[in-house]
């Protein structure tokens, strides 16, 4: 079993997020890109983005880096520990961005490819810092990259009664040969399907409309959830208090009510502002 230090530094101990993003990237189109833009503007306004530098930590498919550029960010730096995520992000940005004001770098939030003194107006890290093997240290490192009056935008899994179960499931899933993972994916997808039906929704339209979740894919998100190891989670109070101790004032929080977590947890989204007189 990988220890805490190897989880932090060795991408081989992680779920192959990059492969999942590479498979997803073929479905990136203008409609998904618009939804990715909406995902960002639900948290920060275009006025706050325009002309600002944007760091995307754990860029995945690159669709949100692209969205930030489309929304007027002055420059975008996309980093990810997984070379396959970085290659996919580069491909996404080269294919869809007209500006060229981006760079995609392989690197970790713990061992950054950036210069020591580089800071960004917006540091964005959606669904990443809980997958690093050392979430609180990762949040600290993300905060360190924010300019004195910048913003931190993060999404972190909410703590639920089933988090211990899911952490064990993810470790097990990651340990399996790829062929043996499929029955788990199918079983879990079937359970999710049944839950949609139980809520009185039409599963076909639910799945078809899933791209409204930040441009994402229902099926790819099932795999991401089942495999997403390392895994940690936190209550919204823990996140807000932690960032506050580091000088960030909560500006906005979305989706902070935890579910029971039987079929998984959800990410709560947070926007923190730095440099306000009352922060501290």
Site residues, ligand SAM (CB under 6 A): 14, 17-18, 57-61, 64, 79-82, 85, 108-110, 126-128, 131-132, 224, 228
Torsion angle, alpha carbons of 228, 132, 117, 66, to 10: 0
CA 235 to CA 24: how far, in whole Å? 29
Closest to ligand SAM by CB, 83 or 280: 83
Element (H, E) at 200: none
Shortest distance, CB of residue 17 to ligand SAM, whole angstroms?
Answer: 4
Shortest distance, CB of residue 91 to ligand SAM, whole angstroms?
Answer: 14
Q: Within 10 Å of residue 198's Cβ, how many Cβ atoms? A: 8
Closest to ligand SAM by CB, 59 or 123: 59
CA 172 from centroid of its chain's CA atoms: 22
Closest to ligand SAM by CB, 35 or 224: 224
Closest to ligand SAM by CB, 82 or 121: 82
Shortest distance, CB of residue 199 to ligand SAM, whole angstroms?
Answer: 24
Q: Within 10 Å of residue 244's Cβ, how many Cβ atoms? A: 14
CA 126 to CA 129: how far, in whole Å? 8
Rg (CA), the chain: 18
Q: Are 149 and 277 in contact (CB under 8 A)?
A: no
Shortest distance, CB of residue 202 to ligand SAM, whole angstroms?
Answer: 26
Shortest distance, CB of residue 272 to ligand SAM, whole angstroms?
Answer: 17
CA 256 to CA 254: how far, in whole Å? 6
SS3 247: coil
CA 101 to CA 98: how far, in whole Å? 9
Closest to ligand SAM by CB, 77 or 85: 85
Closest to ligand SAM by CB, 226 or 243: 226
Closest to ligand SAM by CB, 53 or 61: 61
Closest to ligand SAM by CB, 194 or 254: 254
- Listed in sequence order, the residues at least 6 apart from 170 whose beta carbon sits closer than 8 Å to its beta carbon are 15, 226, 227, 228, 229, 230, 231
CA 144 to CA 37: how far, in whole Å? 25
Shortest distance, CB of residue 81 to ligand SAM, whole angstroms?
Answer: 4
> What's the longest Cα–Cα distance across the chain?
55
Which tokens go with 216? 């994402």
Shortest distance, CB of residue 112 to ligand SAM, whole angstroms?
Answer: 9
Shortest distance, CB of residue 160 to ligand SAM, whole angstroms?
Answer: 17
């Amino acid at each position: 079993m990988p220890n805490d230090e190897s989880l932090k530094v060795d991408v081989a101990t992680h779920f192959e997020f990059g492969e999942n993003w590479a498979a997803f990237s073929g479905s990136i189109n203008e409609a998904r890109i618009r939804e990715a833009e909406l995902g960002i503007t639900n948290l920060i306004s275009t006025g706050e983005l325009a002309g600002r530098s944007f760091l995307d930590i754990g860029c995945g498919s690159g669709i949100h880096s692209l969205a930030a550029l489309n929304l007027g960010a002055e420059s975008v730096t996309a980093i990810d520990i997984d070379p396959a995520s970085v290659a996919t992000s580069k491909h996404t940005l080269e294919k869809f961005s007209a500006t060229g004001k981006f760079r995609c770098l392989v690197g970790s939030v713990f061992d950054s490819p950036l210069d020591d003194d580089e800071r960004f107006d917006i540091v964005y890290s959606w669904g990443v810092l809980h997958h690093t093997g050392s979430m609180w240290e990762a949040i600290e490192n993300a905060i360190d990259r924010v300019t004195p009056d910048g913003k931190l935008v993060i999404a972190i899994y909410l703590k639920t009664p089933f988090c211990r179960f899911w952490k064990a499931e993810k470790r097990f899933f990651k340990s399996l040969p790829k062929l043996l993972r499929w029955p788990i994916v199918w079983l879990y997808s079937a359970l999710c399907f049944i839950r949609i039906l139980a809520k009185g929704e039409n599963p076909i339209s639910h799945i078809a409309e899933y791209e409204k979740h930040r441009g994402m894919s229902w099926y790819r998100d099932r795999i991401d959830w089942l495999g997403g190891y390392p895994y940690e989670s936190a209550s919204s109070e823990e996140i807000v208090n932690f960032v506050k101790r580091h000088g960030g004032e909560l500006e906005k929080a979305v989706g902070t009510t935890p579910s029971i977590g039987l079929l998984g947890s959800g990410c709560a989204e947070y926007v923190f502002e730095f440099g306000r007189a009352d922060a501290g």
